[in-house]
Amino acid sequence: MDVKKLFSLEGRRGFITGGAQGIGECLANAFSELGADVAIVDVNQDKAKAAAEKIAGKTKGKVIAYGCDVTSPESVDKMLAAYISDFGRLDYAINNAGICAMDGALEITPKTFESVIDVNLNGVFYTARAAAKQMVAQGGGGSIISTASMSAHIINQPQTIAAYCASKAGVVSLTKGLAVELSKYHIRVNCVSPGYIQTELVASLKDMLGIWLGKMPEGSRLGFPEDLIGAYVFLASDASAWATGSDVVVDGGLYNPLKTAETKKGRPCGRPFAFTVKP
């Protein structure tokens, strides 16, 4: 068996939503470095374009940016039509765009609750379905990967993010449902559940870093986007040919179903906080 070929992304083509920054940008860079063609899809087209140019300048690969709001099926269809005219076929789709709202359950407005579900769950469905339709039409299968979260498995504390947890649990269940439906087309559908990753998404919560770390096994640390590359490469490549409906948890040991109810007190982060906070 050619093991290097098994993990290869050479010549694979696909899109990454929320690809203009954070986890998505890191994946776009990694996939391009590994020889894949990458479409960076993000709600802010200028930011997506800047990320695409930066990555293509470094890797010399094919990286194109598309502005798209994943909460709008029309916007997703338009993006996919433009993508197909530029790339010709779709081998992988990474549904990664996500938002979080900290408002507690007693205070959150219906509008804010709906916006979290809209981006994190409905948006994943719209992009996954559009990708699946394209993969069925072109034949030969494909790999659909969504970014779920530790929040599908635990309830984060002390932040109050019930809407976010519900949306991410929905992504895990949606993944399993789509995997069963799309199996006959050789389309694999999986998700990744990251633990705490130092990106803009958690920038406003940096006072909680020590508390989160206290909930992790001793010796562990908070994550960086780069810690997730292996899981997505596995799921996009032939190495995961027999994996579908899977949820790959990459969280530094945070979610440990066998641990006791006891949680340690918060401890200092011990590492520099590695990103800039949006003004």
- Cα–Cα distance measured from residue 11 to residue 186, given in angstroms and rounded to the nearest whole number: 19
Which range of residues in 19-27, 154-162, 240-248, 264-272 is near ligand NDP by CB under 6 A?
19-27
Torsions phi, psi of 250, nearest 5? -130, 95
CB of 128 to ligand NDP, least distance (A): 13
Which 136-165 positions form the footprint of ligand NDP (CB under 6 A)?
A: 147, 149-150
Three-point CA angle 242, 248, 252, nearest 5°: 145
Determine which residue in the list 42, 153, 165, 216 makes contact with ligand NDP, applying CB under 6 A: 42
Three-point CA angle 273, 276, 277, nearest 5°: 105
Which range of residues in 3-11, 97-105, 129-137, 266-274 is near ligand NDP by CB under 6 A?
97-105
- Cα–Cα distance measured from residue 29 to residue 27, given in angstroms and rounded to the nearest whole number: 5
CB of 259 to ligand NDP, least distance (A): 19
Task: Tell me whether residue 240 is one of the annotated catalytic residues.
Answer: no
Integer angstrom CA distances of residue 76 from 13, 43, 61, 215, 230: 17, 11, 24, 38, 27
Contact flag: residue 249 with ligand NDP (CB under 6 A): no
- Cα–Cα distance measured from residue 99 to residue 101, given in angstroms and rounded to the nearest whole number: 7
Angle between helices 162-182 and 110-117 (to 10 degrees): 30
Residues β-bridged to residue 188: 143
Task: Tell me whether residue 164 is one of the annotated catalytic residues.
Answer: yes
Select from 163, 160, 141 the least CA-distant residue to 237: 141
Determine which residue in the list 28, 34, 116, 119 makes contact with ligand NDP, applying CB under 6 A: 119
Determine which residue in the list 37, 69, 91, 227 makes contact with ligand NDP, applying CB under 6 A: 69
Catalytic residue among 75, 143, 146, 149: 149
CB of 200 to ligand NDP, least distance (A): 4
Determine which residue in the list 64, 144, 202, 235 makes contact with ligand NDP, applying CB under 6 A: 202
Q: Nearer to ligand NDP by C-beta: 70 or 174?
A: 70
Torsions phi, psi of 104, nearest 5? -65, 165
Contact flag: residue 201 with ligand NDP (CB under 6 A): yes
Rule CB under 6 A: which residues touch ligand NDP? 17-18, 20-24, 42-44, 68-71, 96-99, 119, 123, 147, 149-150, 194, 196-197, 199-202
Active-site residue list: 149, 164, 168
